[in-house]
Amino acid sequence: MTASRTDGGPAVVPGPRLGLITDRTARPGERLVLALLAGAAGLSIVVTIGIVLSLLFPAIEFFRQVPLLDFLTGTRWAPRFRGQESYGILPLVTGTLWTTAIGLLIAVPFGLGAAVYLSEYARPSVRRVLKPVLEVLAGIPSVVYGFFALTFVTPILLKDLLNLPVGTFSVLAAGLVLGVMIIPTVASLSEDAMSAVPQSLRHGSLALGANRMRTTLRVVFPAAISGIMASIVLALSRAIGETMIVALAAGTQPTMATSPLDAGQTMTGFIAQTATGESVPGTLSYDTLYAVGIALFAITLVINLISIRLVRRIREAY
């Protein structure tokens, strides 16, 4: 609709403004839905606070008896040696870092390669088959992966085929199987991010003479980098928090692993080993569960905060 202006030219009369739904304009059903959504968001916050408090108070009791500096810098972890107890968490942190790093070295290149193929090269009929098959790997119980590491990866792959001097347990075997487990996380989320890139960007690159590979690496990949980074961070968090694979394949001896061929215990592996009926609540050895748990929570929190900041800085909207 137009109207005349004082200078003789047509003027545009603004139409009705479309606002967001508010509590005053919403119907009763919409208000109920909004209340349920707000409750779901608030519940997640309450659960997070509850987890922190459940870890914090027993951990405070632990640190009243064990100095925090000794806990963070100690290189010997022996909470059950009567008269010779030691509570240095570095051996557990070292085992966790070894398995996580090896897992990411496996998952990131293979996961991104699968995502590039599914998004840019696979035909729709092939994609409809391969992507569900790939996601089935994410549904396999982690204890199955752990037994796979014990019965195939260590004795057959590492010892017989590669002739590596590894024992029954090693952080290398645990890291390899852990990487296989988180490949679907990287591949599926990265493929979704790359598929969300507008086709106009691909068409523009191809029109300028770039081939498909150059278009993928120079246009699609940078455009989807925020989603790709989010998939890697999610895989990293899952690798750090994985329990059964590292408990079965990495070992139960909390020693400082100096190479991937060594056995070593992770933070989650120690929690799985200690949280049994043999542990007496209220004792110092029992409170080590909460001390290690809150340390693991702090590590994952720092990683998530850094990753969120990084993703926001490199995120591009189209």
* pLDDT tens, position by position, 80-93: 776 677 888 999 99
- Side-chain-facing half-sphere of 75: CA atoms under 13 Å: 3
Q: How far is CA 148 from CA 73, 173, 268, 273, in A?
A: 34, 10, 19, 20
Nearest residue to 75 via CA among 64, 86, 59: 86
Q: Is residue 176 scored above 90 in pLDDT?
A: yes
Distances (CA, A) of 211 to 123, 191, 218, 222: 17, 20, 10, 16
Q: Tell me the Ramachandran region of residue 251: left when phi exceeds 0, alpha when psi lies from -120 to 50, beta otherwise.
A: left
Q: What mean pLDDT, rounded, does the chain reach?
A: 84
pLDDT of 4 higher than 60: no
Given a cut of 60, is residue 257 above it in pLDDT? yes
Cα–Cα distance measured from residue 12 to residue 110, given in angstroms and rounded to the nearest whole number = 56
CA triplet 72, 91, 167: central angle to 5 degrees? 175
Which one is predicted more confidently, 267 or 226? 267
Asked if residue 2 has pLDDT above 50, the reply is no
**Distance between CA atoms of 83 and 94, rounded to whole angstroms?**
25
Give me the mean pLDDT over the 91-118 stretch. 93
Residue type, 79: P
pTM over 0.95: no
- Strand, helix or coil at 88? coil
Q: How confident is the model at residue 54 (pLDDT cuts 50, 70, 90)?
A: confident
Cα separation of 147 and 61, whole Å?
37
Per the CB < 8 A criterion, the answer to whether 219 and 200 are in contact is no
CA distances, 128 to each of 75, 115, 134, 186, 282 (Å): 50, 13, 11, 18, 54
Comparing 242 with 80, the larger pLDDT belongs to: 242
Q: Span 161-171, mean pLDDT?
A: 89
What pLDDT score was predicted for residue 153? Answer: 92
d(CA 64, CA 286) in angstroms, rounded, equals 14
pLDDT for 181: 92
Q: Give pLDDT, residue 25.
A: 60
